[in-house]
A and B are shown apart, each in its own frame.
Chain A
Amino acid sequence: MKPNMHDNLFSPLSIRGTQLSNRVCLLAHRTNLGITGRITDRHIAYYRRRAEGGCGLIIVGELAVHPDDRPWETLIDVQHPEAINDFKKLTDAIRQCDTRVIAQLNHHGFQSSGYVTRKAILGPSAIADVVFGETCKPMEPEDMDEVVEAFAKGAQRVKAGGFDGIEIDMGPESLLRQFLSPISNHRGDEYGGSIENRLRFPLRVVDAVRKAVGDDFTVGVCLCSDEKFYGGLTTEETVPMAQALESTGAVDFINVAVGTYYNLHLIMPSQHIPFGFTMETAEQIKNGISLPVMASYQIGFPSKAEKIIAEGKADMVGYVRAMICDPDIVKKTKEGRIEDIRFCVKDNKGCVGRVNQSKPIGCILNPKVGCESLDGKEQLPPIGQKKKIIVVGAGPSGMEVARVAKERGHDVTIYEKSEKVGGQIRLIGKRPGRGAMQGVTRYLKHMLDKHGVEVQTGVTATLEMILEQKPDAVVVATGSVPLTKPYPGEYGPPKVLTGWEVIKGTHPVGDKVLFVDECGGHHAMATAEMLAEQGKKVDLVTSDLFIGIELAPRGELYLGRQRLLQQGANFRTDVDILNIDTTDGSLRIEARDIYTNKHFFFEGYDTLVLDVGNKVEDDLYHQLKGKVKEVYRTGDCVAPRGIDMAIIEGRNVGEAL
């Protein structure tokens, strides 16, 4: 691919004096890297790494203008006495690259709680947020004055801290959106009712921020341009709102956002949400104003980004997960190395899934996220002595070990017993809506090919075979297999199958299926969905309180349950399976209600599918242990977990060899 394929994406843009070298922006997002209200070295390393990757603009989020706004502890307090010094360290680090950096200033309003501050939260009207569930205090005039002042003071502080500009947050999780939206603003005074009134408070903030920073400083707005919820903001109102913002003369760009906490699956769209689903909204805003407009959400592919800019649908594109996963995506795009890009697969487990559980940000594919090199020199450690390394298993873990070890200069061979590489990802990717997971394998396979790692597929490695080759080190990455006998009783195929067997189609599945889900993730739900799409009647049963218990932090719960229910699935919760019997050719499933302790039988099912977890494939490891100089194991064959840990451990061993 020729570099000039992305000319528009790499054309410069000037926004009130801020010169951007290209049109790609890393948008504001949560990292949870903050400690005691301050920016940390981890933040600086994280953002510097992305600046090194060549994006034109970084917008730093997590900045709270008021100390009483603390929905979570890791926010950065703009009023902290050390904040300006901290900002300088951050902006100095980013400025070493050809990247500009803007501070997003926010107040979360009632999308918060008093759990951290032990104070009342604020909002336009007395509302309890759907996520936090705490009723807020409707703001009094003096509360509003205080928040306006906090924005102004915050603006001065970030300017003093060396930022190139400010983005005022009126996006999905902001007090200012709560004022704009008829869902949350029920005020009877001059701040509620008409569009003009609902805009009054946000415009006061814009005005105060502009006054605080003067005329030669860039100020933009992240505007929730469609809440996509009953009775909420749509472009019918947000286009005039954007126009009103433009007409103040104080605003330099509009960043188009969508969604609210009512539909978190839109704010953190997973694989199930179509690419570019916000483009129509962005285009409408763009057509309504003359300010530069930024479009974002699900635009991680360079060709799509280029098209958006080329067709004039937006002036900038915002990436987040694409740059978490591959900080060098912009550089690689510019160099025409599209194949080398490690594309985000929107699994959401490593990034939003962790962040929503108050863990530092991560990425299932990029093990360095959140622990980037503090000195800014990220490279693989040099090897002491070239080793002959055998890796057993070409799932994500084995492939990552091989990639890293080979890049460092070792001699690496992988043995994979299947005909194709990818391990469990091959099965995962066959489930409805989860095809993008194949991207994990695509990238790793491409890198192995590129670096010339010898991959021997269709070969089951044995102890003898390995010892014969006299390797210096062996890495066992043999993965895990589903538990087939987790409950007492006499049973097995074809009446009782594992999720894997269903995907592989090893046995015919009957019309009425009972699916046991003890993992609460995609394995059960997506496999059940596959069966439902084949026309089976599928009921899911779990001992948990609800089906899909692991999926909420990843923004997958709502749509996942919706798809299943709309395909006629039923959910039965709070049930332990006690015994299964298929000896007389029928399917007898004895169960117990956890709360009432009543025993009962599930009747009328043709097939029972089990998803109750995996067990390690560690035989080869134990056979090799003590027989070769160095033996390691990584990923599921240590303990069955997931792709994130498989790749982290693969990387760690790849670097340690």
Chain B
Amino acid sequence: MSEYKYLFSPLKIGSTVVPNRINFAAHMTNYAEDNLISDRHIAYYEERAKGGVGLIITEEMGVHPTDHPYLKLVDVYEDHVLPGFKKLTAAIHKYDTKIFAQLNHNGMQGDGKLSRLPVWGPSTGKDPIFRETCKAMEIEDIKECVEYFARCAEVSVEGNFDGIELQLGHSSLIRQFLSPLTNHREDEYGGNLENRCRFALEVIDACRKAIGPDFTLGVRMNADEMHPRGGLTHEGAKEVAVRLEASGQLDFFDLSIGTFYNLFLVEGSMHTPLGYTVPLAAGMRSVLNLPVFCTNRINDPHLAEKILAEGQADMIGMVRALIADPELPNKAMEGREEDIRNCIACNQGCIARMGLGYHLGCMHNPAVGKEAELGIGTLKPADEPKKVVVVGGGPAGLEVARCATVRKHRVILFEKEADVGGQNIIAGKVAGRQEITGVTRWLVSQLNKLELDMRLGVEATAEMVLAEQPDAVVIATGSTPLTHPYGGEYGPPDVVTTVQIITEEVEAGDKVLLIDLDGHHQAVGTAEFLADRGKKVHMLTAALFVGSLLGPLQDLYLSRNRLANKGITFTPDIAVLEIQGTTVKGLNVYSNEIIDFTGYDTVVLAAGTAANDSLYHELKGQVKEIYRVGDCVAPRKTDMAIIEGHRIGRAI
């Protein structure tokens, strides 16, 4: 415990004493039902309180009907929100955890598709994501918005929150007023710094009046919009912060970074360095007296402690780190760091699902959003311990083995390779994707503490499995890359799969044609892997652009940026018809023009995988209980492998 001198020391924020320095910062969940806090929300937040977090700041909650950028926003301005608020705050207050409500208006970072109203902004303009021109707010709109903020602040007090955070960060109307990028007004709300701060100060004043002098009130403000052409710079943000602090109405400064122009900074993936916003927090802290929060890619307690120890921030915001492991604070406090399931910033289960409108999940924590059913303390020993054979030591098989062993089953795990991890290890060999192997790291760390019979380097046959006379068999044999997805005469070493390249089974020639049916990291990562080794790579895809699935992961811009700068070229809209040798015959799906792609030394296929289900079919009917999980059911992604592994691990 002494290891964390700062992390587990209390912090006084206004009138609120937070027991430690970890804040579960505001983030979308899509758990709302009918724009209200749901039971799912409550179980989700309560799980983090149980896990030892000091402070929870709710997801943004909308203050005005003109702001409805997505279906499942929680609205505060309706009176019937109160029962949900009270239930939520009561659940959190069972623990030594404080909870603040975040109030926001997203301004022009929205559209009218749901509200069927014009969206509001300081000046007319379009957000790059929502692409709808906003209405430049009239004076009465500004007044109305300030009133709504105040009213919602009052509702938050009544809902028994411990404090309020006003969103002035990456997605907010108030930032749009602060920023010269979006505020081109010529009245008293635009132009110089004083004018651009006016709306923020009016909101702060009105909220303070509504909640009284003793209730905790802070802001989450943008420490740097990081926009290449104007916008709120770090120096500009400092000036704003100093002005806001001088109002004497605030108790803390939480921070964010970036805008919708550079979402890859707002939601940094594993390609973004850990703690990438720390210098900004330190900069803000150098000019402020109030406590400063630092968030973004702080996924481990040592880093958190270091930031606090070095005086760069007073509070550490964690989001994905606590989605992946709600018990991170308790585990750190108890010195069980290796048990922490660190967020790997893959963004697949959390951010991508948010962007696509699904409920929040996590690639390697299957309990996210299902805490009532799968949360802390729910993995109970089985009534009847069984002998379980698991075949395959990828994420799905490891998760089955972990859950079944915890539940006191006797587990034998066969893995044909010398090491476990399966495709997760291969995925980690692609350029910049090493962190993804954290999935295997955690699973192995847990299995190492359990009693089970791991048989590595053994390819299980039906006979071998039956010879064990198991009560239950779980097949988790994964999937294999498709080597012949098109007609024609071709094969290795001229035509190979991405896996053959990244495992260095085959070395590609100098000129490579990569066929991308993947749209994900496998294709672009392999291209980068090859370019890094001096190869000239051209990519073909039938999609409209290369990296078609990377947008929601916030990996699209930086990936394409790296690819383009490494000289990789693209031809989209091409359906491959056949391959002969290394000649690829493609059809432009729009013009119907047939094009031969020739002159390449190696053709690399990112064409997906096929299920390895033969062992399952052989054993089906021959054992009492048989299950299969993960890619050998249908090749998908790690999230489904772990969800299914967990489900079966509990069901046996």
CB distance from A231 to the nearest CB of B (A): 13
Q: In the bound complex, how far is the Cα of B593 from the Cα of A566, in angstroms?
A: 9
The verdict on B151 contacting chain A, using a C-beta distance below 8 Å, is no
Chain A residue numbers with a CB within 8 Å of B608 are 128, 135
Q: Does A126 contact B (CB under 8 A)?
A: yes
Q: Is B353 an interface residue (CB 8 A)?
A: yes
Does chain B have a CB within 8 A of A641?
A: yes
Known contacts A120-B640, A357-B113, A641-B112; is-contact A565 B591 (Cβ 8 Å) = yes
Is B113 a contact of A126 with CB atoms below 8 Å? no
* Residues of chain B in range 605-638 having any CB-CB distance to chain A below 8 Å: 608, 610-611, 633-636
Interface contact A545-B545, CB-CB below 8 Å:
yes
Contact B112 A645 (CB under 8 A): yes
Of B112, B544, B561, the contact of A546 (CB 8 Å cutoff):
B544
Q: B-facing mask of A108-138, CB < 8 A → 1, else 0?
A: 0000001110101100001010000111110
Q: Are B133 and A126 in contact (CB under 8 A)?
A: no
The answer to whether the Cβ of B392 comes within 8 Å of any Cβ in the partner chain is: no
- Which residues 611-649 in A have Cβ within 8 Å of B in the complex? 613-616, 638-641, 645, 648-649
Judged by a CB distance under 8 angstroms, whether A562 is at the interface is yes
Do B564 and A545 touch (CB < 8 A)?
no
Which of B51-59, B118-126, B306-314, B322-330 participates in binding chain A?
B118-126
- B643 proximity list for chain A (CB < 8 A): 118
Determine the distance from Cα of A546 to Cα of B551 in the docked complex, in whole angstroms.
Answer: 13
Residues of chain B with a CB closer than 8 A to A73's CB? 357-358
Which B residues from 344 to 358 make CB contacts under 8 A with A? 353, 356-358
- Does any Cβ of A come within 8 Å of B17's Cβ? no
Contact code string A128-156 (vs B, CB < 8 Å = 1, else 0): 10000111110000000000000000000
Known: A126-B634, A133-B519, A645-B116. A639 touches B133 (CB 8 A): yes
Assess whether B33 is interfacial by the CB under 8 Å rule: yes
- Which of B135, B358, B573 contacts A115 (CB under 8 A)? B358
Give residues of chain B (550-577) contacting chain A, Cβ–Cβ below 8 Å: 557, 560-561, 563-565, 572-573
- CA–CA, A641 to B119, complex, Å? 10
Q: Nearest chain B CB to A207's CB is how many angstroms away?
A: 26
- B134 with A639: CB separation less than 8 A: yes
Q: Which residues of A contact B132 (CB under 8 A)?
A: 639, 641
CB neighbours (8 Å) of A438 from chain B are: none
- Is the C-beta of B588 less than 8 angstroms from some C-beta in chain A? yes
B28-58 to A contact mask, C-beta < 8 Å, 1/0: 0000011000000000000000000000000
| Minimum Cβ distance to chain B for residue A416 (Å) | 23
Contacting pair A135 B635 (CB below 8 A): yes
Candidates A550, A566, A638; contact of B118 at CB < 8 Å: A638
Q: Provide the residues of chain B in CB contact with A562, threshold 8 Å.
A: 590-592
Chain B 10-31 residues near chain A, CB threshold 8 A: none
Q: Is the beta-carbon distance between B560 and A116 smaller than 8 angstroms?
A: no
Whether the pair A573, B112 counts as a contact (CB closer than 8 A) is no
Question: In the assembled complex, how far is the CB of residue B134 from the closest CB belonging to chain A, in whole angstroms?
Answer: 6
Q: A135-B636, A641-B118 are in contact. Are A566 and B591 (CB under 8 A)?
A: yes
Given known contacts A118-B640, A128-B608, A562-B591, A639 and B119 CB-to-CB distance under 8 angstroms: yes
Q: Which residues of B contact A137 (CB under 8 A)?
A: 611, 633-634
Please determine whether A35 and B545 come into contact, CB atoms closer than 8 angstroms. no
Interface secondary structure of B, over-half rule: loop
Question: For residues 131 through 185 of chain B, which have their beta carbon under 8 Å from a beta carbon of chain A?
Answer: 131-136
**Judging by beta carbons under 8 Å apart, are B71 and A358 in contact?**
yes
CB distance from A574 to the nearest CB of B (A): 8
Residues of B within 8 A of A114 (CB): 636, 640
Residue among A519, A545, A565 facing the most chain B CB atoms (10 A cut-off): A545
Bound state CA distance, A4 and B561, in angstroms?
66
Give bound CA distance, A228 to B383, whole Å: 55
A460 → chain B closest CB, angstroms: 23
With both beta carbons as reference points, the residue of chain A lying nearest to B352 in the complex is identified as A115
Q: Is the CB of B590 within 8 A of A573?
A: no
Are A593 and B126 in contact (CB-based, < 8 A)?
no
Q: How far is the CB of A111 from chain B (nearest CB, A)?
A: 14
**Contact of A136 with B634 at beta-carbon distance under 8 Å, contacts A545-B545, A640-B133 already known:** yes
Q: For the complex, is B454 an interface residue (Cβ under 8 Å from A)?
A: no
A571 to B196, CA, bound (A): 40
Q: Which residues of A contact B565 (CB under 8 A)?
A: 595-596
Q: Does any Cβ of B come within 8 Å of A558's Cβ?
A: yes
Which one of B564, B589, B640 contacts A593 once the chains associate, using CB atoms below 8 Å?
B564
Interfacial chain A residues near B544, Cβ < 8 Å? 545-546
In the assembled complex, A354 has its CB within 8 A of some CB on chain B: yes
Contact pattern, A 539-582, Cβ under 8 Å of B = 1, otherwise 0:
00000011000100000001001100110000001100000000
Residues of A within 8 A of B119 (CB): 639
Cβ proximity bits A336-371 to B, threshold 8 Å, 1 near / 0 not: 000000000000000000100111100000000000
Whether A479 sits at the interface, judged by CB under 8 Å, is no
B570-600 to A contact mask, C-beta < 8 Å, 1/0: 0011000000000000001111100000000
* Distance (whole angstroms) from the CB of B540 to the closest CB of chain A: 15
For the complex, give the distance between the alpha carbons of A550 and B131 in Å: 10
Partner of B633, one of A118, A120, A357, A593: A120
Contact surface of B with A, Cβ cutoff 8 Å = 33-34, 71, 112-114, 116, 118-119, 124, 126, 131-136, 353, 356-358, 361, 519, 544-545, 549, 557, 560-561, 563-565, 572-573, 588-592, 608, 610-611, 633-636, 640, 643-644
Which 8 residue pairs spanning A and B have beta carbons closest together? A595-B564, A546-B544, A639-B135, A137-B634, A565-B591, A545-B545, A562-B590, A565-B590
Sample of 20 A–B contacts (CB below 8 Å): A35-B33, A120-B636, A120-B640, A121-B634, A126-B610, A133-B549, A358-B357, A520-B131, A546-B544, A546-B545, A565-B588, A566-B590, A574-B560, A595-B561, A596-B561, A613-B126, A615-B124, A639-B135, A645-B118, A648-B116
Chain A interface (Cβ within 8 Å of chain B)? 35-36, 73, 114-116, 118, 120-121, 126, 128, 133-137, 354, 357-360, 519-520, 545-546, 550, 558, 561-562, 565-566, 573-574, 593, 595-596, 613-616, 638-641, 645, 648-649
